[in-house]
Amino acid sequence: MTRKPRVAIVGSGSLANSLAPALHKSGYTISEIISRDSPRSRRRASKLAAKVGASAVVAQTAESVGSLLWFCVPDREIRSAATTLSSRAIGKVQFAFHSSGALTSRELAPLRNKNIAVASVHPLMTFVPGSHPSLQGVPFSVEGDATAVRMARRVVRDLGGESFSISTARKPAYHAWATLTSPLFLAFLVTLEEAARGAGLTRADARKKSSPIIRQTLENYSRLGPNRSFSGPLIRGDVKTVEKHLAVLRKHPDARNVYASLARSALSTLPVKDRKELARLLRTGASSSLS
């Protein structure tokens, strides 16, 4: 296929609302936004369709869609949506993608059984309501049928992203890493807010005041690597300071447990002085907080 395929997007959530406009801007025709047959889903699909010059249709009555079906629905709905669409006269569909990080292209087996090449194409990016991140430079993990993978790499390149291969066996580990990268990193940031309460700050103050150092830490990590970005009492072997931290955080046990767990991780992965004494403190200090 030398021409860009016409794309039908299945779903109208946060991912679809970033992906469809990005594809449209990259010169792809969005033919349909396919939704469930519920008032809320139809409204969302119609709103997105208007942005990209597409038709809003429901899955149960979709009859003629583009040559590329891209599923942007929750993991639990991928197979059922694929089954529904596979039972329709879906025109000249040649390729079908889904964007689950955890599930493989096998979820699209109902379409594969119709001689449609399938792939999982997952952008390593966070998509939430009210935010529309650029896909420029975003890594996309790709796995599936050879022809679908080739098409996926082409589409990702047109979007300005970077594709890389992931095996089906490694997708759970890949998704665990991705979950640590954003959702659980966010949970860590919320833990920072809890720790800041001990210093007399509100959660809003904590977010505002910690943002500059967080941004600089991420920039250092990206540019210099972890070892050269590491600072603070552990790299100095400042046992007394760590002891004071553990003591003051007793009033905030969740934050204390996260502190101790991350400090233990630092002992095994980062340049730390007085490692033996710090390990002893973290072992006895953490256990005393649970008693």
Q: DSSP per residue over 92-159, as a string?
A: T--EEEE--SSS-GGGGHHHHTTT-EEEEEEESS---TT-----TT-EEEEEE-HHHHHHHHHHHHHT
On the question of pLDDT at 108 being above 90, the answer is: yes
Which among 54, 51, 3 is positioned nearest to 27, based on CA atoms? Answer: 3
Q: Tell me phi and psi for residue 10, to 5 degrees.
A: -100, 110
**Contact indicator for 103, 40 with CB cutoff of 8 Å:** no
Which has more confidence, 132 or 220?
220
pLDDT above 70 as % of the chain:
96
Banded model confidence at residue 289, pLDDT cuts 50, 70, 90: very low
Per-residue pLDDT, 290: 42
Per-residue pLDDT, 162: 98
On the question of pLDDT at 286 being above 80, the answer is: no
**Contact indicator for 110, 82 with CB cutoff of 8 Å:** yes
Encoded tokens for 215: 């941004």
pTM above 0.95, yes or no: no
Q: DSSP per residue over 36-87, as a string?
A: -SSHHHHHHHHHHHHHHT-EEEEGGG-----SEEEE-S-HHHHHHHHHHHHT
Q: What is the pLDDT of residues 24-46, one digit of tens each?
A: 999 999 999 999 999 999 999 99
By mean pLDDT, which of 90-99, 107-116, 137-146 is the weakest? 90-99
For the segment 119-131, the average pLDDT, to the nearest whole number, is 96
pLDDT above 90 as % of the chain:
89
Which among 103, 154, 143 is positioned nearest to 121, based on CA atoms? Answer: 143
User: Could you tell me the domains of the chain?
Assistant: 7-169 (3.40.50.720), 181-290 (no CATH)
On the question of pLDDT at 238 being above 60, the answer is: yes
Distance CA 37, CA 20 (A): 20
For the segment 156-178, the average pLDDT, to the nearest whole number, is 97
* Chain position carrying tokens 């639990």: 76
Mean of all residue pLDDT scores within the chain: 94
Per-residue pLDDT, 1: 58
Q: Roughly what angle, to the nearest 10 degrees, separates helices 39-52 and 14-25?
A: 20
Banded model confidence at residue 66, pLDDT cuts 50, 70, 90: confident
